[in-house]
Structure 1
Amino acid sequence: MNFEILKEQIEKAAKKAFLEIYEQHGSENIYSFALYSDEGAMTVCPASNTLEMLKHADENDQLYYKYEPAEWAYEMEGAHDEFNEICTQLRTELEKNEDDDWFYDFQSKLYSVCTDVLEKLKKENFFSSITGRDIFLIFTVTDYEFEDKDLKDIIIRLNDNEYKDEYLEWMNTWGN
């Protein structure tokens, strides 16, 4: 698989998804955007959340609802055709290869590409130029836990705003 072409496809799909979500839900004060995959590296999907949705979240788990894309209001919304095409390509590639070493390399490259795309869009001020505010960005994987150091690196790399500090403080409470 050509990961440079995949990166371009994911970037185009992420931009389109965010624009579609913003067009439909911008009045709800969008504060976040994520790309996420699965442990089997078969998918890439967008997610976004709003401050309006957070008003209805359980106050005891406010940070969880704020920062966990699986709980966000707009999961797998936007750029449906583009993300479906990307997922089809991933599954097709996976079906051709069954070697474990190949898979772990493929998985690692996919995850890196997704993080690279979000970082590129952040550096271009793509999100903030649309919303007029800082946006929390994250790449995550369903049913998979990054090592704490790796997750911290992702958060630091994608966020240079108040969300970064709050997320890292929240991480320090995990397991306590």
Structure 2
Amino acid sequence: MDTKLFEFGDFEIWKRGDKYFARYDAGAHQVAMREDEISEEEAKKAMQGEKEATDMLFSLQKRLIQAGQDVRILPDFQREIAHAARASFDDLRSARPSEHFYAYALYTDSSAMTMMPAANTVEGLMQVRKEMDIPDDEEAPEFKWSVSEWKYEAWKAGSFNGISSKLRSELEHADFPSFAEKVHTDMVAALKLLESEGFFGTGAERNKIVLFVSISNDDDAVRLEDESALVLNPTIVYEEFLKRYA
């Protein structure tokens, strides 16, 4: 027998036997109810109030993404990010059809007040190395992997202006640690959606590309890059990515 324990808007906590479930609207432009099992501890936390329920949902969503679940039903904001990223990357591909892409990323700043797209190609990397007079025998991995050094960092980023405005507005009323974590999760979910659609290719072609999320000029960037790369890439791509600064 199902027993509803808590309800707030479209969010509900149900108990079925000795198990607990979160039921909520995960749709974008139409209602699409989703149900996920949660722990008793999570249920009790969510039932404390609106903020606690929201925090629990953020944590649940992050856990589902890290578990590799197909994220096709996304909140509006994550779909907006995916749409903006697709627009930027599509435009870049059209502008550089002969170049060989090896990485795509989304990144924010240390204050989580902005969001930007970034991508790089083998040819773009070679051009930057030449401009910086980097010898051919010097690896200089930061130019290959730091999004701020990429040739196509923030390419056609105008589609992200509205997203960044929303971040700045929401941050005024948010607890920063949980807010920043949600921003990082939203970026991963958006890239995961594009990945699930085959936007970055399949098979051997997909294995030539790495996807990740980053933070500009932040000591926590490498950790976030590694964690997001684990979720977003085939194992062979992820394992090679971990060696980038070795």
TM-score class, shorter-chain normalisation, is 0.7 to 0.9
Letter in 2 for 1:90: L
Richer in helix (by share): 1
Q: CA deviation at 1:142?
A: 0.9
1:107 aligns with 2:147: no
TM-score, length-normalised on structure 2? 0.60
CA contact 1:67–1:167 (8 Å) conserved in 2 = no
Alignment CA distance shift 1:161-1:62 (3 Å) = farther
Q: CA deviation at 1:104?
A: 1.4
For residues 91 and 82 of structure 2, the distance between their equivalents in structure 1, rounded to whole angstroms, comes to 14
State the secondary structure of the residue aligned to 1:169.
coil
For residues 44 and 163 of structure 1, the distance between their equivalents in structure 2, rounded to whole angstroms, comes to 24
Supply the RMSD in Å over aligned alpha carbons. Answer: 2.4
Q: Give structure 2 stretches of 5+ with no counterpart.
A: 1-53, 59-74
Q: How many equivalent pairs are there?
A: 164
From 85, 89, 92, give the equivalent of 1:21: 92
Runs of 4+ in 1 over 6 A off after TM superposition: none
1:116 aligns with 2:185: no
Q: Give structure 1 stretches of 5+ with no counterpart.
A: none
Q: How does 1:82-161 map to 2 (within 5 A)?
A: 82-95=159-172, 97=173, 102-128=175-201, 132-133=205-206, 134-146=208-220, 150-160=224-234
Give percent identity, aligned residues only: 30
- Which protein has greater RCO, CA pairs closer than 8 Å, 6+ apart? 1
CA contact 1:16–1:79 (8 Å) conserved in 2 = no
1:73 aligns with 2:151: yes
CA contact 1:20–1:79 (8 Å) conserved in 2 = no
Richer in strand (by share): 2
For residues 77 and 6 of structure 1, the distance between their equivalents in structure 2, rounded to whole angstroms, comes to 20
> For residue 33 of structure 1, what is the aligned residue in structure 2?
104
For residues 221 and 212 of structure 2, the distance between their equivalents in structure 1, rounded to whole angstroms, comes to 15
Alignment CA distance shift 1:87-1:150 (3 Å) = closer
